[in-house]
Structure 1
Amino acid sequence: MTGTLTLLRLALRRDRILLPAWITVIVGVIAASAAAIAELYPHAGQRIALGVTIGAAPALQALTGPVFDAASVGGLTAWRATTMTSVLAALMSMLTVTRHTRAEEETGRAELIGACAVGRQAVPAAAVLLAAGANMLMALLITVSLAGQGLPLPGALAFGLAVGGTGWVFTGVAVLTAQLTAHARTANAIAAAVLGVAFLLRALGDAAKVETLAWMSPLGWAQRVRAFADERWWLITLFAVAGAALVAGAALLARRRDLGSGLVPARPGVPDAAPYLRSPMALAWRLQRGSLLGWSVGFAVVGLLFGALAHSVGDIAGDNPQLAAILAAMGGAGALTDTFLSAEMGLLGLVAGAYAVQATLRLRDEESALRAEPVLATAVARRRWSLSHLGAALGGSAVVLAAGGLTAGIAHGFRIDEPVGQGVRMLGAALVQVPATWTLAGIAMLLFGLLPRLTVLAWAALVAFALLGQLGELLQLDDWVRNLSPFAHVPRALGQPVDAGPLLWLGFVTAVLLLAGTATFQRRDVQGG
């Protein structure tokens, strides 16, 4: 452990902007949600009515979890924000740990540091301490922000510890996956898959009211801390023990591998490349096909879940005559089902934006790892090389959206005896999201060409668009602010004709961004910026 504190100070300096930004966003989402709920639902009767509506819709509970105390502002805030902010805390922790562990080994910096008077466990220990400290600070700020709005202090503290505890558990997950593989990208992918499974287990458990499934997920634990609703303090201990066990397991595994390698050995390639690998496009496909397959399978599973639950949304009006009358004027309960499915396609579009950003920024990964220079030293032009990865990003995002939309339509169609028709219908609803998703690829490409050292801003743009979409209406933001997100311009594709105008404009903006990014990449030095 020698040198841990020195490395921790170095990590704090490197992340002096990134970590405060993460924490500010997470705390701000919770504080803003509490303020908006207090303004929109000032009376207990209104809040209870909302809670009854949520309790009658398994589809809504799959997205955000159950309501444990609908009568209080704090209870509704916990329902609305716990899952979202817990996922953000998990992502913050995973990316932070991988950045300061496996990525350091992959680039060779960890070996240089290890040549000094530094202990073998100092690098991962500093990363774990950094992530743990960030989660503790975040929990404290959540507590202060909610208590400052007049909410009960015990509930505010439980809320903060639940979100911070989730981040701590996924700190352990990330440091464990960093021992398995030699590449930071793969370690992040495995940790993200664990997070995805955790979300699905919680969603299925809450929707089907199978507590066993929800208790298998740290996201389910965060909900069941029951902030502002007779808090379960013993669950905080479960977070602490689970995270510590994962970190301890990672420390034991680290002793069984060499520096720079993973426990799962990399498979050697064949001596001679296949004939089809003679073009930049084929190389880009070879590099990105595993990621595309994983994303497609994930979208297909989530689509099945959304499609299976969509039919239950129409049941909300069963015991509510007033809502039934409103829905009848709108076109019946099917209108509510279409609204739910349209919202879920919008959510899948946002997540597909993450794939588009990741696939586009593979250009930066190849450049940073010095693998781009040997390719560009041949007769391959820069434009051709960059367009090959852009093709994988644009085509891949359309494929993953198609997988989610098609499976959602088929699952919903089987519930109403119309699998083929609903499959085609939902496929179209998913593909309508493609132009907005491509806009994120355009932003990533422009940053790669113009400011390659600031490509992280593409991820910041994705988070900003997600928050505008999920919280813009709740926070009653001005239309011009909400319209900054390309996803705000995507027309509904269910229940009404599709207006092609906004889609054409998004396509035009994407083309401008891609051309500008490609042109600026032509003019800068490789490894420059």
Structure 2
Amino acid sequence: MSAFTGTARLVRLAVRRDRIQLPLWIVGAALFVPIVVASVRDRFPTEADRIEILRSAAASPALLLLRTAPTGPSEGSMIMFSILTYVAVLAGLMSTLAVVRHTRQNEETGRAEMVGATVVGRHAGLTAALVVVAGANAVLGALIALALLGYGLPVAGSIGTGAGIAAAGLVFAGVAAIAAQIAQSSRAANGIAAAVVGVAYLVRGLGDALGEVRPDGYTVVSAWPTWLSPIGWVTEMRQYAGDRWWVLVLPLAFFAVTVAAAFALTVRRDVGMGLIPDRRGAAKAAPALLSPLGLAWRLQRGTLLGWCVAVVALGAAVGSLSQTVREALGENQGTADTVTKLAGGGDGDLLAAFFAAMMAIFGAMAAAYVVQALMRPRAEEAGGPAEAVLATGTGRLRWLASHVAVAVGGAALLLVAAGVATGLVAGLTDGDLGGQVAEMTGASLVQLPAAMILAGFAVAAFGLLPRLAVGLAWTAFAVSLIVGQLGELLGLPQAVRDISPFTHTPALPAASATAVPLIALTAVALALGAAGLALFRRRDLAI
């Protein structure tokens, strides 16, 4: 028997297990393409229109940080400027979640040990996971290429775009394979892999923001940090603007190295154990662990700390840009209009519009944390700990409500941390410390009801369809993010944008706050959460 014996059967098992989740990810990411293509053709039909908006973007480091460096005025280049980094991030998240689900999660739940007792090689499980994820990325890349070709875009750029997105997914699949060997829980492995995706996006953004604007004024040559990011490798392929196919060597080589490292690490640990073992707990449990709320906090605090570090760092970076943004927006009306659209409108204060756009990003980060935190009950249910807890005097509603309380409270903490960090650095820069801290903290906290909507949806999905809860919750987050945060820039109809809770959040500090939408969002969130609790109380536990 070789180390790869049984791989084919495990591939079939993984495909059957992911027959719903992976297609949702693939179709959702691929549908983003025709939406953006239609929007670009409607809003920027001529080269002159595209040059105007790209000049604005090239003059704004903040927009380059969020999107990517523009490479030319062609229709294809404009589409890449609008979509490429976002789809690469979606491919990365799809890949990391799938690899961890079929490796570390199987070990955590005991499935790997049961399967390993049969005629299965040591590397079969990891190989099967990578084969399935590689196939999913190939399908995603092919759909994207076909969608672009269907709109009549050049063949080389369209195929290069699909290949680049697929290569980005492979890079992060390799990262997740290593994370699954290092961490002892699927939650920790997902956290490590997702953090790498986030860092890759920010490093790429830093390189693009520091890039050099060419004499034409609308193309940008990215700085060296972009080459340190796997997402930067995708953008540096310069689809529709030179089509540098040789850049594909970087993600493919990285994938090969990480997979080899993951296989090497697999044989150096026991099944079910990570290279970094869980540290021993105290001899006596803290009194707080006697309650479901204390237990939920203990399980979630590490993840929350990681998110806090991320939002504080980003908030400090945003606050430090206040003077730069004021100068850039004051000199370029096109950039000012774009930022104002990102912020959802405003009263004409361009710096306030910039901060409102950044607060919306913090709101999305808080919502992502909420979804991640509320997937913990599903992991507890599938893995068995929930059954042991619920066999005691702890009721179902109290157990699930404790996780919800920690998730929503954690989101509020993240938003406060983001607002304080942004206001503190901006205040030190502008000489108005107290005023900026108060204003930015308030502007960030109004994002909480939108995050609560996604919390309520996640709880409702967990109560009604527990086996699909993870996929449904993350799909809802992705849809809300795309149509809410980017709907105005993409030219989506108002009826479509209204689907997202982010659309109804006041754009503080650029606009005046009104209580009605916040109260309505909170009421809907509470209704969804209550429905989820009631459904969970009435159903059987599901593995």
**Normalised-by-shorter TM-score class:** over 0.9
1:492-524: CA deviation from partner (whole Å, max 9, x where unpaired) = 221332101110111111111222222222222
What is the CA distance between 1:310 and its match in structure 2? 4.2
Shift of 1:26: 1.6
Instruction: Specify the alignment match of 2:123 in structure 1.
Output: 121
**Hey, what does 2:520 align to over in structure 1?**
505
Counterpart of 2:304 in structure 1: which amino acid?
Answer: L
Within 5 Å, which residues of 2 pair with 1:419-498?
Answer: 419-456=433-470, 457-498=472-513
2:155 is aligned with what amino acid? Answer: L
2:54 pairs with 1:39: no
How many Å separate the matches in 1 of 2:334 and 2:196?
42
| Alignment of structure 1 residues 124-143 onto 2, 5 Å | 124-143=126-145
**3-state SS in 1 of match to 2:394:** coil
Closer, same or farther: CA 389–44 of 1 in aligned 2, 3 Å? same
- In the other structure, the counterpart of 1:352 is 366
RMSD over aligned Cα, in angstroms? 2.2
Worse-superposed segment, 374-383 or 388-397? 374-383
| Aligned residues of 2:43 and 2:491 also touching (Cα < 8 A) | no
Q: 1:281 is paired with a residue of what secondary structure?
A: helix
TM-score normalised according to structure 2 size: 0.92
Matched, 1:342 2:345: no
Alpha-carbon distance change, 366 to 332 in structure 1, aligned in 2, over 3 angstroms: closer
User: Tell me, which stretches of 5 or more residues in structure 2 are unaligned?
Assistant: 212-221, 340-344
> Residues 405 and 16 (structure 1 numbering): CA distance in 2 closer, same or farther, change over 3 Å?
same
1:238-249 to 2 correspondences below 5 Å = 238-249=250-261
Contact 1:59 1:312 in 2 (8 A): no
The change in CA–CA distance for 1:373 and 1:67 in structure 2 (over 3 A counts) is same
Within 5 Å, which residues of 2 pair with 1:93-492? 93-209=95-211, 211-320=223-332, 335-456=349-470, 457-492=472-507
264-273 or 292-301, which moves further after superposition? 264-273
Deviations 1:64-116 (A, max 9, x none): 011011x1111111111111011000001101111111111111111121122
Return the TM-score normalized by structure 1. Answer: 0.94
Percent identical residues:
45
CA contact (8 A) 1:360 1:444 kept: yes
State the 1:319 CA deviation. 4.6
Q: Which residue pairs with 2:217 in the alignment?
A: none
Deviations 1:451-491 (A, max 9, x none): 22221212211111112124433443332221111111111
Q: Deviations over 1:201-225 (max 9, x none)?
A: 1122222237222211111111111
Within 2, Cα distance between the matches of 1:287 and 1:473? Answer: 38
Counterpart Cα distance in 1 of 2:510 and 2:454 = 27
Give the distance between the partners of 2:267 and 2:367, measured in 1 at CA.
38
Task: Kindly provide the CA deviation profile for residues 166-190 of structure 1, in whole angstroms up to 9, marking residues without a partner as x.
Answer: 1110010000111012211110101
* Alignment correspondent of 1:58: 61
Tell me, what secondary structure is at the counterpart of 1:455? Answer: helix
Tell me, in whole angstroms, the C-alpha distance in 1 between the residues paired with 2:110 and 2:541. Answer: 20
Deviation of the 1:45 alpha carbon: 0.8
Q: Which residue of 1 aligns with 2:26?
A: 23
Query: How far, CA to CA, are the matches of 1:415 and 1:269 in structure 2?
Result: 44
Does structure 2 conserve the Cα–Cα contact (< 8 Å) formed by 1:444 and 1:455? yes
The equivalent residue for 2:70 is 67
1:324 deviates by 8.5
Would the aligned equivalents of 2:484 and 2:498 in 1 still touch at CA under 8 Å? no
Secondary structure at the aligned position of 1:178 is classed as helix
> In the aligned structure 2, how far is the partner of 1:254 from the partner of 1:42?
53
Q: Deviations over 1:293-349 (max 9, x none)?
A: 11111111121222223443333355547988999xxx9997222112112211221
SS in 2 for 1:238: helix
Secondary structure at the counterpart of residue 349 of structure 2: helix
Match of 1:13? 16
SS in 1 for 2:122: coil
- Give the Cα–Cα distance (whole angstroms) in 2 for the partners of residues 374 and 323 of structure 1: 56
Segment drifting more, 390-399 vs 359-368: 359-368
The answer to which of 502-511 and 359-368 deviates more is 359-368
Deviation at 1:122, TM superposition (A): 0.8
Is the alpha carbon distance of 1:522 and 1:324 closer, same or farther for their aligned partners in structure 2, counting shifts above 3 Å?
Answer: closer
Q: How many angstroms apart in 1 are the aligned matches of 2:404 and 2:54?
A: 45
**AA matched with 2:115:** I
Q: Give the drift of 1:377.
A: 2.5
Instruction: Give distance in 1, aligned partners of 2:329 and 2:281.
Output: 59
Kept in 1: contact 2:57–2:335 (CA 8 A): no
Structure 1 residues 333 and 412 mapped into 2: Cα distance closer, same or farther (>3 Å)?
farther
Q: Does 1:516 align with 2:531?
A: yes
In 2: Cα distance, 1:452 partner to 1:137 partner: 27
- The residue type equivalent to 2:94 in the other structure is M
Q: Structure 1 residues 323 and 168, CA, compared in 2 at 3 Å: closer, same or farther?
A: closer
Counterpart Cα distance in 2 of 1:29 and 1:12: 24
Provide the rounded CA distance (Å) in 1 between the counterparts of 2:483 and 2:336: 30
My pick for the range that moved more, 389-398 or 440-449, is: 440-449
Alpha-carbon offset, residue 60 of structure 1: 0.4
SS across alignment from 2:273: coil
SS state of the match for residue 508, structure 2? coil
